[in-house]
Amino acid sequence: MAVDFQAEIAKRRDDMLADLFSLLRINSERDDSLADAQHPFGPGPVRALETFLAMAERDGYTSRNIDNYAGHFEYGQGEEVLGIFAHLDVVPAGSGWETDPYEPVIKDGKLYARGASDDKGPTVACYYALKVIKELGLPVSKKVRFIVGTDEESGWADMDYYFKHSGVKKPDFGFSPDAEFPIINGEKGNITQYLHFSGSNGSDFVLHSFEGGLRENMVPESARAVFSSESLSFTEIQSELQQFAAENNLQTDLSQDGDQITVTLIGKSAHGMSPQAGVNGATYLACFLSRYSFGGAAGDFLKIAGQVLHLDYYGEKIGLAYEDSKMGALTMNPGVFRFAETADDNMIALNFRFPQGVSSEGIYQQLTKLDGPNAVTVSEHLHEPHYLPPSDPLVETLLRVYEKQTGLKGHEQIIGGGTFGRLLECGVAYGAMFPDYENTMHQANEFADVDDLYRAAAIYAEAIYELIK
């Protein structure tokens, strides 16, 4: 049966945009300070989940909410199950926005809002793709399970809980609309490891506090430090900071309250899988401060952050540089920095995206050789490298549909980012960003091109139908 999927999506453009706006207006950042038994990641992700599942119920699906961790609805019949994995949580909005991040705005054909491209926009595009198939009553021989999570950006505890408590087996094959076209059939491994420091000082320069970064998988946009000095005046520090800022094209702010000096440095956020695309405000601030004679653990903290980790996107200074011919190079994002002189345990979180040939244990062993940290610990959330060859029928089908819809040549891609596509042995990421698209995920002023979302929805519709007809 020949179907013009682009025309079918065009008929539903207004409804699709209205549903997307309803999700984008929800601040679904994880907030552990408000988490409880009914709100495992805070109230925002729950509101987004409830809103999405209410959409499904409105459209005639039977949905399931798995204790506010994740949810799903199903369509079709058959022994085989196609899984579509999306997420409704978002990274913190941060600063630097020209619009309210939770009041979607369309300007020059671009939809600005946190989650517009990661991942609410693609999620709704994929939802409307399946909606077309359902409303047209197209014949299918497989089941679709559309699964949405609420903790993809932090630790995937949503999917851990979902598969333990939903009572359903994993889908046989599937994709996640959370990356790029033509396809993402390989993803690097992903692990966060932590360098620990005490809160001691040991000279006339005293570091009272240092904070930078919102999430491990984001390049810290800004950082703030409070310190004092008996040997250098405020005016001298101000002059040196101005010179440092000019040399590195940075925004800074300096103030004094009694004997304490507060300095803030602003860089540029980016996705943690591409630390070289951002300007790490925390390592730049540590680089500036490490010129002074801070001692003890404070000195070690600033030296590691400002001299060892600063601009070392590939772990070269700490002996971790490695590149695989297919998956590319290991990358390192120093994502979160916390130091307080009153704390017994301070830390720097390092998020690694690593290819085949590297292990989390190998990274850990190398980090323990660093001079300065008093301990190294490893996150329990480890994702090994994932790869599905181009010869796999799933990859072949998705690339064929992409080529038909766009007229562009499809090809395999491997990224440093991690998507729910890797939850399945036979799983990939598919769209919704098109080639040469400006990637604003995890950045201020995140946007999605509205027409591209409609284009993606048509591709998803045909792809889903080809996979289940």
Catalytic residue among 89, 118, 178, 449: 89
For residue 106, give the H/E element and its range: strand 105-107
**Is-catalytic flag, 152?**
yes
pLDDT score at 26: 98
**Are 348 and 418 within one domain?**
no
Check residue 92 and give left, alpha or beta (phi > 0: left; psi -120 to 50: alpha): beta
Alpha helices in 273-340 (DSSP H): 281-289, 296-303
Q: Which long-range contacts (CB under 8 A, 24 or more apart) does 78-81 make?
A: 78/140, 78/141, 78/142, 78/143, 78/468, 79/142, 80/142, 80/143, 80/172, 80/173, 81/142, 81/143, 81/144, 81/145, 81/169, 81/171, 81/172
158-194 pLDDT, tens digit per residue, is 999 999 999 999 999 999 999 999 999 999 999 999 9
pLDDT at residue number 203: 86
Query: What was the pLDDT predicted at 266?
Result: 96
Tell me the CATH number at 435: 3.40.630.10
Dig out the tokens for 30 from the structure.
Answer: 């994880």
Residue 223 belongs to a domain with what CATH number? 3.30.70.360
The reply to whether 282 and 149 lie within a common domain is: no
The 10s digit of each residue's pLDDT in 107-136 is 999 999 999 999 999 999 999 999 999 999
Q: Are residues 54 and 194 in the same domain?
A: no
pLDDT at residue 307, as a whole number: 97
To the query of whether residue 323 is one of the catalytic residues in this protein, the response is no
Number of domains in the chain: 2
Options 8, 118, 119, 152, the catalytic residue = 152
Residues 276 and 398 in one domain: no
Angle, CA of 441, 445 and 446, to the nearest 5°: 30
Q: What is the pLDDT of residue 408?
A: 96
- Identify whether residues 149 and 172 lie together within a single domain: yes
Q: Are residues 354 and 457 in the same domain?
A: no
- Within the chain, which residues score under 50 in pLDDT? none
Tokens, residue 119: 């991942």
pLDDT of residue 1: 65
Domain end point (choices 347, 378, 409): 378
CA distance 41 to 29: 8
Domain that residue 229 falls in: 190-378
